[in-house]
């Protein structure tokens, strides 16, 4: 008799546990995410001209040669971190590449694979990346013209530098291409993970 009462009691507890809502957990997670995101500075407010100016002023040849990983860090340091010590975007699921943002009204939205962010960054990034690439290639070409025909090892080094610049240029220009931006997206997920 006692065993059946215990079984009945255990089943009742199990059913109560299953039927309990998880709003406390969801609210805690959402509040944690909200605390990371700026309600004053939002992704919607990013202007291409301001992004271009920021890149032109701070994005260096060294950053350029750092590839997509450095590009993600540059944007974290100069754009995503906001003046109110918060962020424009955060990663909530690194394996699925899910990000969260706040819109202008303070509503939390999902940004899968940071598409909204990448769309904002695309034009200024491609413009400044091209400018830096052109400067690098011009410098290499001028040095190549000044070399004597005897300096074979230096010519080979300049050819290597040209090929490296071309590869980095292609990588950086395609930072927003889901088939090509593994380094950018991985780094973004890591540095924005909450």
Residues 114-153: tens digit of each pLDDT: 999 999 999 999 999 999 999 999 999 999 888 877 888 8
Task: Give the model confidence (pLDDT) of 3-55 as tens digits.
Answer: 677 677 777 766 676 555 555 556 677 788 999 999 999 999 999 999 999 99
Q: What average pLDDT does range 75-99 have in this prediction?
A: 96
Residue 88 pLDDT > 70, yes or no?
yes
pLDDT of residue 100: 97
Q: In this prediction, what percent of the chain has a pLDDT beyond 90?
A: 73
Residue 182 pLDDT > 60, yes or no?
yes
pLDDT of residue 14: 64
pLDDT of residue 96: 94
Buried residues in 142-172 as b, exposed as e (16+ CB within 10 A): eeeeeeeeeeeeeeeebeebeeebeebbebb
For residue 179, name the pLDDT band (cuts at 50, 70, 90).
Answer: confident
């Amino acid at each position: 008799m006692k065993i059946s009462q215990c079984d009945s009691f255990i089943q009742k507890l199990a059913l109560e546990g299953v039927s309990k809502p998880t709003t406390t957990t969801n609210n805690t997670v959402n509040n944690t995410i909200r605390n990371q995101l700026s309600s004053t500075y939002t992704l919607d407010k990013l202007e291409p001209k301001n992004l271009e100016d920021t890149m032109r002023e701070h994005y260096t040849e060294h950053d350029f040669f750092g590839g997509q990983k450095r590009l993600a860090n540059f944007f974290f340091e100069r754009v995503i971190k906001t003046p109110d010590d918060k962020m424009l975007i955060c990663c909530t699921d690194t394996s699925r590449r899910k990000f969260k943002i706040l819109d202008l009204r303070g509503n939390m939205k999902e940004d899968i694979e940071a598409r909204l962010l990448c769309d904002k960054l695309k034009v200024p990034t491609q413009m400044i990346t091209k400018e830096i690439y052109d400067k690098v290639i011009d410098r290499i070409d001028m040095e190549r013209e000044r070399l004597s025909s005897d300096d074979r090892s230096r010519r080979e080094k300049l050819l290597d530098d040209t090929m490296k610049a071309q590869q980095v240029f292609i990588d950086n220009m395609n930072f927003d291409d889901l088939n090509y931006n593994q380094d950018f997206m991985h780094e973004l997920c890591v540095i924005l993970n909450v």
